[in-house]
Structure 1
C-alpha cells in the first residue's frame, strides 16, 4: 500500500539544489509523483508529493530535517492521501491585467462564491513593454462540478472580468 507525503521547502537558490532534493527522496526509497520547483528572487521553492511504502515515507520524514538544516532549507511535511475522484471537469482560466493590490483575492473570491474549487494557481508580474506599468498574468486550474452550467459560469466570469477591468478567458483544460 502506498503512503504519501507532501513536502514544502524554501532555501537559498544555488546550482544543484533541485538535484539534492530529488536525490534525497530517491535515496529514501520514495518516488516523486507531483512537484513544482521554482526560483523566486534569491530563493528556491519546492512543493512535492512523494509516494512510497510506509517505511520509505518514515525514512524520508526522519532524514529530511537533518539534510534540510545542512542545506539552509526550511521545510514542512504532512502525510496525505490521494483524493477521491471528483465529479468535476477541469477548466483553465487565464487572466491578464494591470497589477493592483487585491487582484488575486478578488479572483479567488469569485470562484469561491460560485462554489468552484481552485486546483492550481500561478501568478507572474512583469513591466509592460511600452509603458513600464506592471502587468499581472494569472493561470488557474479550476474544477467545475458536473452539475453546474458551464455557460452560466462563463457568463458570470466574463461579467466579473468586465466589472474589474480584467482580460480573462475560461476554457476546458487540454491535457
Structure 2
C-alpha cells in the first residue's frame, strides 16, 4: 500500500485552515407593528439573497413585533441581503438594526441550567437578578420576562425564565443556596434546576 512521504504529510498539516465560503453571518433585528409582522418579509429576503437562517426568535412586546435572525451565507450573498434589508426598511417602514458578526463558540466549560422566578411585581427585580448572576460569574444565555395581572387577586406579577451557563468549577449546591437565600430576601419564588435535554 502506498503511503504519503513524510515531507508531503508535514506540508499538509502546516497549511492554514481556509475559511469556508458560507462562514459570513449577519445579525438582524426587525421591528414592526403587530398587524404588520416582519417575519414573512424578512425570511423571504434572506432566502432570496441565497442565505440561510441559523437562529431565529420572535416576540411581541407592547404593540410591536420583534424578529431576530442570524443569517449565514457567502460574502456576496450577505452583501445582497444587506441591500435587501435597506430596501425593506425604506419601502415597508420596518425599523431595522443589522450588522456582521460570527458564530458563538461552544462553551465547553459551562453547565446549562434553567431559572424560573415569580414575584409580586416591583421596580428593579430584573436588575437585581441580572446583577446576582453577573456577580457569581454565571452567563445569561436566554431570558424571557413578563408582567401580568393575577386572575384571582388582581395583583401585578413579575415572571421570568432564564437559561444560564454555570462555570463547571462552581460549587452548584453553594450557588443554589446563595441564590435561594437571595430570592428569599427579595420575596421571590424561584427554582434553579439543570436543563433536561
Q: Give the TM-score taking structure 2 as reference length.
A: 0.85
Q: What residue in structure 1 maps to residue 137 of structure 2? A: 115
Q: What residue in structure 1 maps to residue 112 of structure 2? A: 90
Q: In 1, are the aligned partners of 2:31 and 2:38 still within 8 Å (CA)?
A: no
Structure (1 or 2) with the larger CA radius of gyration: 2
Q: In 2, are the aligned partners of 1:97 and 1:167 still within 8 Å (CA)?
A: yes
Q: What residue in structure 2 maps to residue 26 of structure 1? A: 47
Alignment partners' CA distance in 2, 1:128 and 1:83: 38
Per-residue CA deviation, residues 78-135 of structure 1 (Å, 9 max, x unaligned), is 2111122211111110001111101100000000010111111110111011221111
How many pairs are equivalent?
175
Alignment partners' CA distance in 2, 1:174 and 1:125: 26
Among 74, 81, 87, the residue aligned to 1:60: 81
Q: What residue in structure 1 maps to residue 71 of structure 2? A: 50
Secondary structure in structure 1 of the residue aligned to 2:35: coil
Q: What residue in structure 2 maps to residue 106 of structure 1? A: 128
Q: What residue in structure 2 maps to residue 11 of structure 1? A: 32
1:143 aligns with 2:143: no
Alignment partners' CA distance in 2, 1:48 and 1:67: 15
Deviation, structure 1 residue 16: 5.8
Greater strand share, 1 or 2? 1
Using CA pairs under 8 Å that are at least 6 residues apart, name the structure with larger relative contact order, 1 or 2.
1
Alignment partners' CA distance in 2, 1:105 and 1:84: 27
Deviation, structure 1 residue 66: 1.1
User: What do you get for the CA RMSD once the two structures are aligned?
Assistant: 1.3
Alignment partners' CA distance in 2, 1:144 and 1:52: 32
Q: In 1, are the aligned partners of 2:89 and 2:95 still within 8 Å (CA)?
A: yes
Q: In 2, are the aligned partners of 1:99 and 1:136 still within 8 Å (CA)?
A: yes
Listed as ranges, the gaps of 5+ residues in structure 1 are none
